[in-house]
Homo-oligomer: A and B are copies of this chain.
Amino acid sequence: MLLYNNALSGNCYKVRLLAAQLGVGLELRDLDVLDRSDRPQVIGELTPVLRVPVLVTDDGRAMFESNAIIDYLAEGTEYLPADRYERQQVLAWQFFEQYEIEPNLAVARFWRLFAVEQPPAAWAQKQDAGRRGLEALERGLQGHEFLVADRYSVADISLYGYTHLAAEGGFDLSPYPAIRAWLERVAAQPGHVAISA
């Protein structure tokens, strides 16, 4: 399968991580995250949103949205529960991730990595909103090994994507012991690969 990718993107990393654990081979085609002028030409036919990752199957089916891509890949495997209520919980955490974690942790990290100037109020807003997201994640992990049914699943992969990079966005994880212990458990899973792998 072909993955339109960016090496620094936590969203693209989710797909690479699950593919490594499933033993699925990916051909990577990297797109720039600063100069996006080629996107309509390169992926405009594949996704209406012009963001990576985009996965294209060998028979030409295109998919967008990182969490929806990994759920597709995980269907029928140990990484996505078969039970209907457990699947609801997996999705709930994944929607939470795109609503409260990614828009704050990933955007703050992007601003830092690429030295994008922001008004102090915008930076403070991202930090506050990101901390509220981390507090919710901490509550969800208290007393649990993993997010859903105490088994490693795509929910953990989705949340791990940017949470393990929190420091690069200026977030301090020391107030969140449940998150820190969970990050270590995720990184210890069979077949785990780093974002830089």
Show the binding face of A for B, using Cβ within 8 Å.
48-50, 61, 63-69, 71-72, 75, 84-85, 87-89, 91-92, 94-96, 98-100, 102-103, 119, 121, 136-137, 139-140
Chain B residues, Cβ within 8 Å of A87? 72
* Bound CA–CA A84/B75 (angstroms): 8
* Bound CA–CA A48/B144 (angstroms): 13
Query: Does the CB pair B103–A88 fall under 8 Å?
Result: no
* Bound CA–CA A31/B136 (angstroms): 19
Query: Does the CB pair A88–B68 fall under 8 Å?
Result: yes
Copies of the polypeptide in the assembly: 2
Query: Does the CB pair B91–A67 fall under 8 Å?
Result: yes
Query: Does the CB pair A65–B49 fall under 8 Å?
Result: no
DSSP majority for the A interface? helix
Chain B residues, Cβ within 8 Å of A65? 91-92, 95-96
Chain B residues, Cβ within 8 Å of A49? 96, 100, 136
Chain B residues, Cβ within 8 Å of A85? 61, 63, 72
Chain B residues, Cβ within 8 Å of A72? 84-85, 87-88, 91
Distance (whole angstroms) from the CB of A77 to the closest CB of chain B? 12
Query: Does the CB pair B99–A48 fall under 8 Å?
Result: no
Distance (whole angstroms) from the CB of A127 to the closest CB of chain B? 16
Given contacts A98-B99, A103-B99, contact A50 B91 (CB under 8 A): no
Query: Does the CB pair B91–A71 fall under 8 Å?
Result: yes
* Bound CA–CA A139/B94 (angstroms): 25
